[in-house]
Amino acid sequence: MLQQTRVEAVRPYFHRFVNELPDIASLAQCDEEKLLKLWEGLGYYNRVRNMQKAARIVMETYGGELPHDPGLLKKLPGIGSYTAGAVASAAYGIPAPAVDGNVLRVLSRLTGSYACIDDPKVRVHFEDLVLDLLNSEESLDPGEFNQALMELGALVCLPNGQARCAECPVSDQCIAFRNAHQDSIPVRKPKKPRRVEHRTILAVRDATRTVIHKRPQRGLLAGLWELPNLEGELTDAQVLEASRRIGINPVRITPLPDSIHIFSHVEWHMKGYLVLAEELDGLADGYLAVEPERTQREYSVPSAFARYTEYLNIRHGQQNTENEDFQ
C-alpha cells in the first residue's frame, strides 16, 4: 500500500483492509469485487490482485505461512527484490538488502556515485553493498538497518535540492556532501512525457438509478467499474447517438465541467455530460443500472471518474492517492 503513497494517506485504508481481511487465509478466499472495493482509492489495483495470487500460493504451497527466504518470497506474484528484502529482514531478521528509491538516493550520495539509479545493474550493485555490510557486521539488526536507511532517505536525505545535510547523522562519511554534489546526485533517466487521451464521460441517471460498466480484465483499471465513456471529445449530438447505442433514451443532455486525471503513463482529459433518462431498462450487454448507494457500497469505481460521479450522488473517499499502472 505504501508504494508511491504517504503513510498518512494510507493509514485509514490499511485499517479498513486488515479489519476485513486479517490474515493470509481470508485474503486468499476474498471475492474479487470485495477485494477491489477494499482497495478503492489506493490505485495500482494490480498490487492487490497480486497480493491475493500470492496469498493463494502461500496457502497451497507453504501451509499458510509466508516463506522467510528472500529467494522464495521473490517468486511470489507482486514481490520484487525490495519487498522480499524488507519482509525477510524486518519480519524475520534475515540479512537481506531492501533497496528502494530512497535508499538508492542515500547510497548514491554517500558513495558519490554518478551511475544512473534507473539502471537495474546499479540497484544490484547497491544491494550487494548492503548485503556485504549486513554480513560483515554481526551486531547490525538487518531489519533496523534497512529501516534506518529508508528513514534517512525519507526524512533527511531528501530529493529535489532539499537534502538536510546539516542534520544528517552520516554527513562526515558522505562523499556527495564533502564535494557539495548532493543536488546533482542521484542521476536519473529523463522521464518520457505522459500520453494524453481525450475521453467523453456520460453520467447517466434516471429518477433512481445510474449506469455503470465493467472495464475489460486487462489494461488500465482492469476489471473495475466505470461510467460509460467514449474516446475523443463528443458533441451533444454524438452523445445522443452514443447513448442510444447503449440502450439509453435521453430526455435531457447537459454539459458538465471538464476534468483531468493523471495516471502513471497517461493523462485523461475528460469532457462530461449529464444524461437524464426516463427509465434505464434495456441497456446493452455489460451495462448495469444500479442505485447510487449500492454502487458506492458494492462496486469499485476508480477516482478518475470522481468529478462526474458526484453528479450521480456516488461519493468517493480520498481521491488524491489513486493512480494506476498499465499491466
Pick from 133, 165, 266, 276: which binds ligand SF4 (CB under 6 A)?
Answer: 165
The C-alpha cell at 19 is 479489519
- The verdict on 109 binding ligand SF4 (CB under 6 A) reads yes
To ligand SF4, the closest distance from the beta carbon of 146 in angstroms equals 16
- Among the listed ranges 116-124, 160-168, 192-200, 299-307, the one in contact with ligand SF4 (CB under 6 A) is 160-168
Pick from 21, 58, 156, 201: which binds ligand SF4 (CB under 6 A)?
Answer: 156
Neighbouring C-beta atoms of residue 30, cutoff 10 Å: 18
Exposed e or buried b per residue across 138-169, where buried means at least 16 C-beta atoms within 10 angstroms of its C-beta:
eeeebbebbbbbbebbbebbeeeeebeeeebe
- The verdict on 182 binding ligand SF4 (CB under 6 A) reads yes
- The verdict on 168 binding ligand SF4 (CB under 6 A) reads yes
Between 117 and 242, CB nearer to ligand SF4: 117
| Dihedral sign of CA atoms 6, 148, 145, 171 in order | positive
How many whole angstroms separate alpha carbon 284 and alpha carbon 251?
18
- The verdict on 130 binding ligand SF4 (CB under 6 A) reads no
- The verdict on 145 binding ligand SF4 (CB under 6 A) reads no
Long-range contacts of 188-193 (CB under 8 A, 24+ apart): 188/116, 188/117, 188/118, 189/116, 189/118, 192/265
Between 148 and 266, CB nearer to ligand SF4: 148
- The verdict on 35 binding ligand SF4 (CB under 6 A) reads no
Q: CB within 8 A of 93, min separation 6: which ones?
A: 141, 142, 143
Between 42 and 174, CB nearer to ligand SF4: 174
Between 24 and 99, CB nearer to ligand SF4: 99
Element (H, E) at 36: helix 32-39
Neighbouring C-beta atoms of residue 32, cutoff 10 Å: 12
Q: Pick out residues in 193-222 that bind ligand SF4 (CB under 6 A).
A: none
| Total residues interacting with ligand SF4, rule: CB under 6 A | 15
Pick from 177, 263, 299, 305: which binds ligand SF4 (CB under 6 A)?
Answer: 177
Between 165 and 256, CB nearer to ligand SF4: 165
How many whole angstroms separate alpha carbon 243 and alpha carbon 195?
27
- The verdict on 163 binding ligand SF4 (CB under 6 A) reads yes
- The verdict on 149 binding ligand SF4 (CB under 6 A) reads no
Secondary structure (DSSP) of 261-318 = EE-SSEEEEEEEEEEEES---SPPTTEEEE-HHHHHHH----GGGHHHHGGGT---S-
- The verdict on 274 binding ligand SF4 (CB under 6 A) reads no
Bond prior to 186 in cis (omega within 30° of 0): yes
To ligand SF4, the closest distance from the beta carbon of 129 in angstroms equals 14
Pick from 48, 54, 73, 176: which binds ligand SF4 (CB under 6 A)?
Answer: 176
Between 113 and 229, CB nearer to ligand SF4: 113
Instruction: Return the DSSP state at 79.
Output: -
To ligand SF4, the closest distance from the beta carbon of 185 in angstroms equals 8
Q: CB within 8 A of 162, min separation 6: which ones?
A: none
Pairing relationship of beta strands 266-277 and 195-205 according to DSSP bridges: parallel
Q: Is 42 helix (H, G, I), strand (E, B) or coil?
A: coil
- The verdict on 10 binding ligand SF4 (CB under 6 A) reads no
Pick from 149, 174, 204, 301: which binds ligand SF4 (CB under 6 A)?
Answer: 174
To ligand SF4, the closest distance from the beta carbon of 258 in angstroms equals 42
Residue closest to 165 by CA, chosen among 149, 144, 181: 181
Residues that bind ligand SF4 (CB under 6 A): 106, 109-110, 156-157, 163-165, 168, 170-171, 174, 176-177, 182
